[in-house]
Structures are given as structure tokens and as C-alpha cells.
């Protein structure tokens, strides 16, 4: 076998670096980078769920494990995630743009600003330093980053300590249907997982910096290493510390999430400073912008807690089934829809900052059509092949056929609203781009209220599947309401173009569904469906046939989205050749 020369290895690494640099340069390319690592992350996530399901089944341990996430998630999502997704990034971009504009307008501007930054950074704590920070003199986007990290660390420590002390009372409140042993395990896992929110808090500021700077590679890698940490916990730490090893795996994954992003943030200019400039205009702006989003996320977490309360009163394993089905259903949303929304957000923010309405609308419309083009057929595939999908991914060890049926039923109801769940992150970011966080929050509150009402009605009738259907119906309501309000505020959203594309997409998806059903029943008569390989053969054959038909019909009826994909790949290939 010929040896690979050192120069060849270097050339290969250089090619990979250039490839990712090119992809990072455009919205579509950035979305591809995020999607690639999102796929890897979701593969690891599915492997994680398979390991958990195989080892513990849909029973008390996994119920306690998923319930233990609720309180740490409540703190983190409420106090941190809102600040970063809706507030920190736009303000960071605004400060960065002002600094770059000053540098362009005056050749001396950037050195002067850098000098001011250094002057502020050195004598921290002095009266002159405090006055400068409060007035915003020389306050840069890096000062903002350091201030937010310090504030987040302080706040998370305080709230984390409170929840740690009162964990027994909180767990009893959110899981009234758990027995004593199950509740005690939930308390222990919750207390361990609280450590992870400190790592996540700092890491997500780094992630915000990387998104705002359009450095998506290491940002996209973070969820991959997080899932890797959980997997290592499930495989190795459980053998050492028993069920508590699951929680320590979460902590280890959160630490990796932080460590993988820090070097790039440092490379592009971040350096920590011991400042909490809470009176500074930019810091206060982040606080003002995050407040509505924080209220919305708090309501969302309360919604999740109510779902947990309802699920705890159903048969054992219901909470595990709900989470496993939700994780499966969220895979395509994270890979495609969220990747596109994240990559589009900086462009939407810049368009608003430059008052370029045409670019804003065109980018929003293009991304919406791409999300619909991907989500509608995936929804069809997941509904038609839900049992096969669940059995292949989760069906091993302690995860029996009854667990498979319950999870597949819930997955089917989740999948009905994939298009809506995929578009909501984009529409929310459209509002965030022009620094309006109130509307997504208010609409989210209404949809959550609807979700709770429908869940209370359907859960006694349909069991855990009723919770999944309630989530789908409320997601569709959320999407429709956001779209109507955005249309009213912005004006033309190229809705005619979007509607024509959607009709073509639905026709193509219907053709794929018919073909999938034909292949599914045809293959079932030729293979043993009681075996893993029989189910795998049926699943792959149906998927392959469905994809071919969907793309073929799309091309035949002139779907613009399939032409965009083809043209993008053609341009990239030609560029790489030259």
C-alpha cells in the first residue's frame, strides 16, 4: 500500500480549510457548514438516544433523566438564551459595524478606538474607568462580550444555588406522579446537571460572537462534542457512578461545548476583562431587548414543566416516549431549518441596519422557500415511515415493541407540523433583526397557552400521543400568527412567489408519498419484517424511491428551489476546478 506523503496531508488539510472558508463566505455556504455539523450532531444525538433506550428502556430511569433537565433548562433558557439569540448578537454587530465605519471614515479612527479600549481595560475599577464605561467612551463589542459573560456567570451562580438548595421542593412540584425513588433520582440528577449551565452560559456568548462574526465552523462543532460527552457518560460513567453518570456526562458535554469555541473567539479578538458595565448604554440595550424574549422563554419553560406534570401522571415511560419522539422529530428542523435561519440572521440584521428593505425581503423569502422545500417532503417521509424509523434507531435492548408503537404514534403527530416548526425560527429572527423581540414573545405566549389547553384535553383521551398532537397544532398557530403580523409590518413578503413554490412542493411531495407507500408494501412481501435488516431494506428502498420521485417531479414542474440547489452546486464545482 503506497505511503501518504507529508506534503499530501498538508495539501488535504489546506483544501479542507479553503473549502470551509469559501462556504463561510455566503449565507447558503454558512448554512451548509452548520447543516453538516448539525447532521453529525444529530447522528450522535440519535446514537445517544439509542444507547439510552437500549440500556434503560422507556421506563423510570429515563423519565427521571429527562425530568432532571427541566430545572437547569428553565434557568439557562430563561436567563441566558434570550439574551444571546435575540439581544446580544444584534447589539454586538451594531458596535462592531460602528467601529469598522469609524476605521473606514478616518484612517486614525481604529487605532484610537483600540487605544481607548486598552486604556479602559487596564485601570479597571478606577472612577475614571467606571465613568468611561457608563458613558460608552471607547466601549467596544469586546467590552460588551466580557460584560455579558461576567453578568451571566454571576446570575447563573445565584439562581443555580437557589435551585440546588430547593431541588426537592421543585421536583415534587413538577413531577407529582413520580414515586419516592423516582423523585429522589430526579433530584440527584438535577443537582449535578446544574453545573452544566455555567459552562453553557459562557459557551453561548462565544457562540454569539462567532455567529455575529460569521465564523460558523467551530460554532457548529459545539453541539457535536456536547452529544459526544453525553454518550461517553452513558457508556463509561454509568458503570462508575451508576445512573448519576448520565448527569455527569451532560456536565462533561457542556464543558466540551465551551472549550471547542473558545480558541476561535480568542483568535478573532475576544479577551476577558473583569468588567460588569451594567450602566453602559449597549449593555442596557441588551437587557432591554432580552426582557421580552426572556418572558417568552420563561413561558416556554413553564409550558414544558406543565407537559412534564401531565406526562408524569400517565403510564410509566410516557415522559421518555415524548422526549424520544420529540428528539427524532427535531432532527430535520435542526439540520435544515435552524441552520438556514442561523445563517440568514446576520444578513437580515445587516439589511435592517443599512435600511435595505429589498434585500431583507428577498433573503427572507428565499430562505422561507428553501425551508418549505425541505420540510414538507421530510414530514411526508416521517409520517409514512415512522414505525420503521423508530424501530431502526431506538429498537434494541430494553426498548420493546410496545415502546416502539407509542413513540412512532407520537412521532407521526409531531411530524404533521414540521413545516411550521421549521419556519418559526426564521420568522422570529426576522423580528429580532429589526430589534423587535416583543411580537415573537407575545405570539409564543398565545401558542403555548393553546398547547397547554389542548394537552389537558387530549392527554386523558390519547395518552402521550395527545401531547404530541397538541404541540403540532400550537406550532401551526404560532407560524400563521407570526407570518400575518410580519406581513402587516413589512409589507410585501413575496407571498405570491412563496405560495406558488409551496403548491409545487406539495404536488411533488404527494407523488413521493404515493411511491413510498407502493415500495413499502412491495418490499414487505419480499423480506422478513421481523428482522432488523428486513426493516432496514424496506426503509432505505422507500426513502430512495421517494427522494428520486420528489426531485424528479420538482424538476419536471419547474420548482425554483431545485434549480437553486443545482446552480449552487454547479457554481461551486466550477470554482473549485479553476
pLDDT band at 28 (very low <50, low <70, confident <90, very high): low
pLDDT reported for residue 23: 54
* Phi, psi at 166, each rounded to 5°: -100, 15
Three-state DSSP state, 452: helix
Query: Rounded CA gap, 306 and 300, in Å?
Result: 10
Q: Is the pLDDT of residue 512 over 90?
A: yes
DSSP string, 467-489: HHHHHHHHHHHHHHHHHHHHHHH
DSSP string, 121-183: HTTTTSHHHHHHHHHTTT--HHHHHHHHHHHHHHHHHHHHHHHHHTHHHHHHHH-TTS-HHHH
Output the nine-digit C-alpha cell for 447.
Answer: 401558542
Give 290-301 as a 3 state SS string: HHHHHHHHHHHH
Estimate the share of the chain in helix, then strand, then coil, as percent rounded to the nearest 5.
85, 0, 15
For the segment 122-137, the average pLDDT, to the nearest whole number, is 45
| 8 A C-beta contact, residue 502 and residue 483 | no
What angle, rounded to 10 degrees, do the helices at 281-312 and 438-462 form?
A: 10
Residue 141 class from Cβ within 10 Å (0-12 exposed, 13-18 middle, 19+ buried)? buried
Q: Give the Å distances, CA to CA, from 341 to 116, 285, 348.
A: 36, 23, 10
Query: Rounded CA gap, 506 and 554, in Å?
Result: 10
Instruction: Give the torsion sign (CA, 481, 486, 492, 497).
Output: negative
Output the nine-digit C-alpha cell for 19.
Answer: 473549502
Query: Rounded CA gap, 445 and 394, in Å?
Result: 33
For the segment 336-342, the average pLDDT, to the nearest whole number, is 83
Query: Rounded CA gap, 313 and 302, in Å?
Result: 17
pLDDT reported for residue 93: 77
For the segment 344-392, what is each residue's pLDDT rounded down to a tens digit? 887 888 777 777 788 888 888 888 999 999 999 999 999 999 988 888 8
How many CB atoms within 10 Å of residue 460?
Answer: 11
pLDDT reported for residue 411: 93
Q: Is the pLDDT of residue 88 over 50?
A: yes
Q: Is the pLDDT of residue 416 over 90?
A: yes
pLDDT reported for residue 398: 74
For the segment 178-184, the average pLDDT, to the nearest whole number, is 89
| 8 A C-beta contact, residue 466 and residue 322 | no
Instruction: Give the torsion sign (CA, 201, 206, 209, 211).
Output: negative
Question: Which comes out higher in pLDDT, residue 170 or 15?
Answer: 170
Mean pLDDT score of the chain: 81
pLDDT band at 168 (very low <50, low <70, confident <90, very high): very high
For the segment 264-279, what is each residue's pLDDT rounded down to a tens digit? 888 888 878 777 777 7
pLDDT band at 342 (very low <50, low <70, confident <90, very high): confident
Least confident window among 41-50, 65-74, 195-204, 443-452:
41-50
Distance from CA of residue 109 to its chain's centroid? 38
Three-state DSSP state, 278: coil
Output the nine-digit C-alpha cell for 212.
Answer: 455575529
Residue 125 class from Cβ within 10 Å (0-12 exposed, 13-18 middle, 19+ buried)? exposed
In angstroms and rounded to an integer, the radius of gyration of the C-alpha atoms of the chain is: 25
pLDDT reported for residue 542: 92
235, 243, 287: which is closest to 86 by C-alpha?
A: 287
Q: Give the Å distances, CA to CA, from 326 to 240, 333, 390, 465, 467.
A: 29, 11, 12, 11, 10
Residue 188 class from Cβ within 10 Å (0-12 exposed, 13-18 middle, 19+ buried)? middle
Three-state DSSP state, 400: coil
DSSP string, 26-86: SHHHHHHHHHHHHHHHHHHHHHHHHHHHHHH-SSHHHHHHHHHTHHHHHHHIIIIIHIIII
How many CB atoms within 10 Å of residue 438?
Answer: 14
Amino acid at each position: 500500500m503506497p505511503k501518504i506523503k507529508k506534503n499530501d496531508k498538508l495539501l488535504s488539510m489546506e483544501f479542507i480549510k479553503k473549502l470551509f472558508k469559501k462556504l463561510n463566505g455566503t449565507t447558503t455556504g454558512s448554512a451548509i457548514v452548520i447543516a453538516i455539523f448539525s447532521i453529525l450532531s444529530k447522528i450522535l444525538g440519535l446514537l445517544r438516544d439509542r444507547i439510552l433506550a437500549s440500556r434503560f428502556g422507556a421506563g423510570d430511569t429515563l423519565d427521571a433523566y429527562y425530568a432532571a433537565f427541566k430545572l437547569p433548562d428553565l434557568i439557562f433558557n430563561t436567563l441566558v438564551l434570550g439574551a444571546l439569540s435575540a439581544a446580544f448578537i444584534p447589539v454586538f454587530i451594531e458596535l462592531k459595524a460602528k467601529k469598522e465605519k469609524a476605521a473606514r471614515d478616518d484612517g486614525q479612527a481604529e487605532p484610537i478606538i483600540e487605544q481607548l479600549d486598552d486604556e479602559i481595560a487596564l485601570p479597571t475599577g478606577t472612577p475614571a474607568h467606571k465613568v468611561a464605561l457608563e458613558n460608552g467612551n471607547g466601549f467596544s463589542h469586546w467590552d460588551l462580550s466580557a460584560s455579558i459573560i461576567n453578568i451571566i456567570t454571576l446570575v447563573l451562580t445565584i439562581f443555580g444555588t437557589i435551585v440546588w438548595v430547593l431541588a426537592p421542593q421543585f421536583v415534587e412540584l413538577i413531577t407529582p406522579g413520580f414515586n419516592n425513588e423516582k423523585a429522589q433520582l430526579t433530584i440527584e440528577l438535577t443537582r449535578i446537571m446544574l453545573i452544566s449551565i455555567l459552562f453553557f452560559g459562557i459557551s453561548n456568548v462565544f457562540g454569539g460572537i462567532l455567529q455575529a462574526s460569521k465564523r460558523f465552523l467551530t460554532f457548529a462543532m459545539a453541539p457535536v462534542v456536547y452529544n459526544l460527552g453525553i454518550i461517553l457518560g452513558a457508556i463509561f460513567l454509568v458503570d462508575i457512578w451508576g445512573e448519576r453518570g448520565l448527569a455527569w456526562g451532560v456536565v462533561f458535554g457542556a464543558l466540551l461545548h465551551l472549550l471547542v469555541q473558545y480558541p476561535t473567539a480568542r483568535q478573532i479578538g475576544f479577551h476577558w476583562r473583569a468588567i460588569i458595565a451594567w450602566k453602559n448604554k449597549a449593555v442596557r440595550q441588551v437587557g432591554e431587548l432580552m426582557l421580552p424574549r426572556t418572558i417568552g422563554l420563561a413561558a416556554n419553560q413553564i409550558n414544558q414543566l406543565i407537559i412534564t406534570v401531565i406526562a408524569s401522571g400517565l403510564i410509566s415511560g410516557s415522559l421518555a416516549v415524548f422526549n424520544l419522539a420529540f428528539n427524532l422529530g427535531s432532527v430535520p428542523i435542526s439540520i435544515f431549518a435552524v441552520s438556514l435561519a442561523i445563517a440568514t440572521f446576520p444578513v437580515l440584521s445587516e439589511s435592517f441596519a443599512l435600511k435595505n428593505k429589498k434585500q431583507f425581503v428577498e433573503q427572507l423569502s428565499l430562505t422561507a422557500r428553501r425551508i418549505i422545500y425541505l420540510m414538507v417532503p421530510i414530514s411526508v417521509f416521517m409520517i409514512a415511515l415512522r414505525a420503521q424509523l423508530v424501530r431502526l434507531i431506538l429498537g434494541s435492548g430494553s426498548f420493546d415493541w410496545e415502546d416502539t408503537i407509542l413513540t412512532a404514534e407520537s412521532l407521526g403527530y409531531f411530524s404533521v407540523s414540521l413545516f411550521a416548526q421549521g419556519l418559526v425560527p426564521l420568522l422570529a429572527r426576522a423580528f429580532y433583526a429589526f430589534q423587535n423581540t416583543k411580537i415573537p414573545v407575545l405570539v409564543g405566549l398565545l401558542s403555548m397557552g393553546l398547547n397547554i389547553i389542548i394537552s389537558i384535553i387530549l392527554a386523558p383521551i390519547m395518552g402521550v400521543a395527545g401531547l404530541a398532537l397538541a404541540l403540532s397544532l400550537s406550532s401551526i398557530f404560532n407560524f400563521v400568527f407570526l407570518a400575518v403580523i410580519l406581513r402587516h409590518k413589512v409589507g410585501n413578503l413575496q407571498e405570491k412567489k412563496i405560495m406558488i413554490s409551496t403548491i409545487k412542493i406539495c404536488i411533488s411531495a404527494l407523488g413521493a408519498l404515493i411511491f413510498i407507500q407502493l415500495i413499502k408494501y412491495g418490499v414487505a412481501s419480499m423480506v422478513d419484517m421481523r428482522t432488523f435488516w428486513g426493516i432496514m431494506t424496506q426503509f432505505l428502498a422507500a426513502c430512495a424511491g421517494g427522494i428520486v420521485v420528489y426531485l424528479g417531479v420538482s424538476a419536471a414542474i419547474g420548482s425554483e428551489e431545485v434549480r437553486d440547489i443545482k446552480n449552487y452546486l454547479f457554481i461551486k464545482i466550477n470554482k473549485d476546478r479553476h
